[in-house]
Structure 1
Amino acid sequence: MKIVQVKDVSSKPNPHGVDARSISDTESAQVVHITLQPGESLKKHITPVDVIFYVLEGVGVVEIGEEKAVAGADTLIESPAKIPHRWMNESNSVTRILVVKTPRPREATRLL
C-alpha cells in the first residue's frame, strides 16, 4: 500500500503558475492536485488523453471546448482527449481540484 499526503508533496513549476502537485504517476494514470487561489486560472491547453476533474473544495469555472460551467465541491467533470480546456477561480475563496489523466500521457500537454 502506498499512502500520499498532498501536504507532503511539493508543487512543481508549471506553465500555469499555480500550485500543482503530482500525487500519483503510474503506467496507467496520472493524478494531480491543483489549488487555485482567488483570481488564478489555468491557461487554455490541450491534453493528449482523457481527463477527469473532481472538485474537492470551492467553486471554479471550467471551460471545455465551447462549453463553460460553474462547478462546486463534489462535482465530477469529464474532459475528452485533445479538446481545449481550462479552469478559472473567479471566487473569493480557494478552489481545489483533483485531476486524473488516463491513460498516462505519452506526449506533452500543449498550451494554446
Structure 2
Amino acid sequence: MIKTETLLSAPKVPFDLDGRIMFSSSKVEMVHLTLKPGEVIPAHANPFGVVFYLLDGELELTVNNESALLTPNSATFVEINESRSLTNKSTNTARVLVVKIF
C-alpha cells in the first residue's frame, strides 16, 4: 500500500516550530520546517545525522561555530552529535526539509 502525506495532514513536530513530520521510520525521519524572518532554531546536538535540503528562502546554518548560507536546492549533511543551529536572517520565509538518519 502506498502511503502519502501532505503538509496539511502531516503530524506537527512536538516543538514550538512550524514543522510537519512528512515521513518516519526506525531508520529515517523527514520533517518539513518553515522558518519566518528572524526565526531561530537554537544550537543543539542530536544523536543522529541530519541532511538539510533548502526548498525556499535562505538560512544560516551554524555547525560547531562555523556558519554557511543555505540557498534553494542545496543540501548539507551534519554529523551525529555536532552542535547545529538555523537562523533566518532574511526578510522572506524559508522552507527546509530535514532528513534525520538514525
For the aligned pair, the TM-score class normalised by the smaller chain equals: over 0.9
Deviations 1:54-109 (A, max 9, x none): 00111010001121011111010100000000100000011001001112xxxxxx
Match of 1:110 in 2: none
Q: Secondary structure at the match of 2:40?
A: coil
State how 1:1-112 maps to structure 2 within 5 Å.
Answer: 1-14=2-15, 17-103=16-102
Deviation of the 1:10 alpha carbon: 4.3
Once residues 18 and 43 of structure 1 are traced to their aligned partners in structure 2, the CA distance between those partners, rounded to angstroms, is 12
Once residues 73 and 55 of structure 2 are traced to their aligned partners in structure 1, the CA distance between those partners, rounded to angstroms, is 6
Question: Structure 1 residue runs of 4+, over 4 Å off?
Answer: none
Once residues 52 and 42 of structure 2 are traced to their aligned partners in structure 1, the CA distance between those partners, rounded to angstroms, is 16
Structure 2: gaps spanning 5 or more residues: none
Once residues 13 and 99 of structure 1 are traced to their aligned partners in structure 2, the CA distance between those partners, rounded to angstroms, is 15
Once residues 18 and 11 of structure 1 are traced to their aligned partners in structure 2, the CA distance between those partners, rounded to angstroms, is 9
Q: Secondary structure at the match of 2:8?
A: helix
Structure 1: gaps spanning 5 or more residues: 104-112
TM-score scaled to structure 2, two decimals? 0.92
- Pairwise CA RMSD: 1.1
Tell me which amino acid in the other structure corresponds to 1:12. Answer: V
TM-score scaled to structure 1, two decimals? 0.85
Tell me which amino acid in the other structure corresponds to 1:11. Answer: K
Once residues 11 and 38 of structure 2 are traced to their aligned partners in structure 1, the CA distance between those partners, rounded to angstroms, is 22
Q: Secondary structure at the match of 1:43?
A: strand
Between the two proteins, the alignment pairs up a number of residues equal to: 101
Matched residues, percent identical?
Answer: 27
Tell me which amino acid in the other structure corresponds to 1:99. Answer: V
